[in-house]
A and B are shown apart, each in its own frame.
Chain A
Amino acid sequence: MSIPDYIIPLVVALPLLGAFLTPLISRVNDKLRNIFVILILGVNMALILLLASNILTEGIMIYVFGAQNLNLPLVRILFEVDAMSIFMAIISSILAFVAVLYSWAFMKENTGLDKYYTLILLMTAGMLGMELTGDMFNFFVFLEILSIASCALIAFWTHKGESVEAAFKYITISAIGALFVLFAVALLYGQYNALNIATLANLIQYNFLDKIALALLIVALAMKAGIVPLHMWLPDSYGSAPSSVSIILVGATQASLYGVFRVCFTLYGSSLSTITRQLDLFGRSLTLYMNSILGLIIILLAIITIIIGVLMALIQIDFKRLIAYAAVAEIGYMFLGIGTGIAALGTTYGRTALEGGIFHIINDALDVGLLFLVAGAIYYATREFSLNRMGGLARNMKITAVFFIIGLLAVAGMPPMNGFASKLLIYESTYQLSPILAIIAILCSILLLAVFVKVFYSAFMGPAIPKFKDVKEVPKSMLFAMGIIASIIVIFGIFPEIVLNNLVEPAASALIGYENYIAQVIGGI
């Protein structure tokens, strides 16, 4: 079954159009607006799944704006969608859909909801645009749309000083990051006279200016993905935003993570196996390859990220900040898989590591997202974020407690859940690179379990607190949203090979096979 290629821009255009219709519909009726937003994102998710089924069977799809087909000179913007792009798009659309379902009850008492839903749709458009585009400047534009919308949403509860403070940190980091990306784009454009990722990847020579551009791109995107020396904004933003926004922010950081992949594997894909330096150490000559240097740097950062994320999570007393630090640690696991994949490019275990890293992206989005939703549910019921003042909630909120157990086991990588499947792949492949890496990774996973068992005990177990005697289970829309994610987690955990074979494997092949990505555009001319 082949589908028309205009589905690709439609996926981005639909939320964008919906975003600007939302304030109008909001004037008619609030309920109608909620249904409209859910409908838009639901249809969008269906379109993305349709696109995914087509791409997984027939290969890369291209849509050129303003032209029938590709022709020289390539000055047009084009969307190029391969298995990796569509994999990320599926994650983003699931998260956005769940977030609006959850918002129905969670944000009910707030005013200004027309703006809230507009910004959520804009964020979705930004994420999807970043993931589907095949043009560097276009990437920058969607990055900025995403940053501006998410910053406004982090500051949505403006009556809290913390939210505004976190939003200011976020916009500062985002603005600098985006300007670095633009600077790198200008450097590449000045040399190769192209903005298209495939054309640039074909022409790139890996000279001095390219190295500067690579450093700028990696720093900016890793900063936005929240890797450790530059992670300080992440717990603040995740912790201060409304829970329904935190879950989309997980998707937003992962869109930046996707940017790192695209830059490393596609844009600089041909340079990865280049010899960068011949060293003469103590009479032995040592050949340094670009991929081992880049891989080792990423692995080092990943290990630091994991350790700091877990250790900081241990000492938190604010529920959402704790989850945010756990999210930092999870980002470290993804980078560990990717870094090992780059360092051991071409070997079997390198590929396993890459698959583990990619699989962990979707698992992290679901696990951390579910935990944020549970934290939001507890806040909704008790108006409390501090773990010191909670307790005995499992008596009144049985279903939420079950969802929390599922999220807890998944985030710690325990066997029946999806987190185990991807973490096992990462452990077994990093072990072959160096056993110490795997040992640190496993130890930190165990610590993560300890952290969340502590949280479970202090929030849900223990004696009943008189203040929470009348606490009721949260409304159905929130339970339904949590239920969707929890069921996906369990299904992925029981049948990991379905996801591995159908989504993760093609995505890993798409990343490694950068020649296909280039040939699809260059060969089409």
Chain B
Amino acid sequence: MIYNIPYIAVAALVLLGLYALVFKRNLIKMVIGITLIESGVNLFLITLGYRTGSIAPIYTSSPGGIMSFPVPQALTLTSIVIGVAVLALMLSLVIHIYRHYGSLDVREIRRLKE
């Protein structure tokens, strides 16, 4: 049971993020929702590589024993960097939207609705 806690956390984070995306009306909260999903996915990747009692995979100064698997960590790093880029882009768009529409409410940002 104790080993399943990270996976439960992953599911909780992703579902929370999806909830924020679908039901929240504020653009900033939607951005937060996407960040939550991203954290969930990153946590999932990290958890996949972890083995009980393992140490960080640094080969040159290893005290022995098992190491956690390095590939998911490399994937997570890449994913974090990409996530920062997406987050920055989204927030800059939110700033522009606020300048044009004077609001962050999705119900008022619908000039393209037809």
Q: Which residues of A contact B (CB under 8 A)?
A: 75, 137, 141, 144, 147-148, 151-152, 155, 158, 160-162, 164-168, 171-172, 175-176, 178-179, 182-183, 185-186, 189-190, 195, 236, 239-240, 315-316, 321
Question: Would you call B94 and A168 a contact (CB within 8 A)?
Answer: yes
B86 CB contact (under 8 Å) in A141, A164, A171, A185: A171
Question: Would you call A183 and B96 a contact (CB within 8 A)?
Answer: no
User: Contacts A151-B89, A168-B90, A186-B44 given: A176-B72 contact, CB under 8 Å?
Assistant: no
Task: For chain B, residues 9 to 64, give those with C-beta under 8 angstroms from any C-beta of chain A.
Answer: 14, 21, 27, 30, 34, 37-38, 41, 44-45, 48
Question: Would you call A164 and B90 a contact (CB within 8 A)?
Answer: no
Question: Would you call B112 and A166 a contact (CB within 8 A)?
Answer: yes
Question: Would you call A165 and B41 a contact (CB within 8 A)?
Answer: no
List A contacts of B75 (CB < 8 A).
Answer: 137, 185-186, 189
Question: Would you call A176 and B93 a contact (CB within 8 A)?
Answer: no
Secondary structure dominating the interface of B: helix
Q: List 11 A-B contacts (CB under 8 A).
A: A144-B82, A147-B86, A161-B100, A165-B97, A167-B93, A172-B34, A172-B90, A175-B34, A186-B72, A186-B75, A189-B48
User: Contacts A75-B71, A321-B114 given: A175-B90 contact, CB under 8 Å?
Assistant: yes
Secondary structure dominating the interface of A: helix
A144 CB contact (under 8 Å) in B21, B86, B100, B114: B86
List B contacts of A147 (CB < 8 A).
Answer: 86
- Nearest-neighbour CB distance to chain B for A506, whole angstroms, equals 33
Question: Would you call B48 and A141 a contact (CB within 8 A)?
Answer: no
B14 nearest in chain A by CB position: A183
User: Contacts A137-B75, A171-B90, A182-B41 given: A164-B96 contact, CB under 8 Å?
Assistant: yes
B41 CB contact (under 8 Å) in A137, A144, A183, A239: A183
List A contacts of B67 (CB < 8 A).
Answer: none
CA distance A109 to B30 in the complex (A): 35
A148 CB contact (under 8 Å) in B21, B86, B101, B110: B86
B111: Cβ under 8 A from any A Cβ: yes
Question: Would you call B112 and A171 a contact (CB within 8 A)?
Answer: no
B38 nearest in chain A by CB position: A179
User: Contacts A176-B34, A186-B45, A240-B112 given: A164-B78 contact, CB under 8 Å?
Assistant: no
CA distance A147 to B83 in the complex (A): 12
